[in-house]
Amino acid sequence: MNITIHRNHNSCLTKYTQNFKKMNIESIGTWAGEVYKALEETDTKVLGLKQIKKATKLKKDELMAAFGWLGREGKIVITTEDEDIVVKLV
């Protein structure tokens, strides 16, 4: 995917594309490790989205990528409870 950015255009687009470039296999794997560690450190091995976000300091899109990674590996189960996303370590 090629994105051309002109310096005088919307800074929001520039910020978006800079973040997009950071999302690669290596960074997603790192984020997945942070989520896994946060879940592993709890007694119940279960955390809500807000708790994981607070523990890892990751952004929502980074968390979703990490969840995809861990889900694909069969390491987590994602459910909802009272309108919150709940993640359980398997």
Domain boundaries 27-89, CATH class = mainly alpha
Q: Cβ contacts of residue 14 below 8 Å, gap of 6+? A: 5
Give dist(CA 13, CA 3) in Å, integer: 10
8 A C-beta contact, residue 89 and residue 45: yes
pTM, entire model: 0.76
SS (H, E, C) 51-67: HHHHHHCCCHHHHHHHH
Phi/psi of residue 5, nearest 5 degrees = -120, 130
Helix (H, G, I), strand (E, B) or coil at 1: coil
Could you report the per-residue pLDDT of 2-45, keeping only the tens digit for each?
Answer: 444 445 555 555 555 555 557 899 999 999 999 999 999 999 99
User: What is the C-alpha to C-alpha distance for residues 15 and 38, in angstroms, rounded to an integer?
Assistant: 28
Identify which has the larger pLDDT, 4 or 46: 46
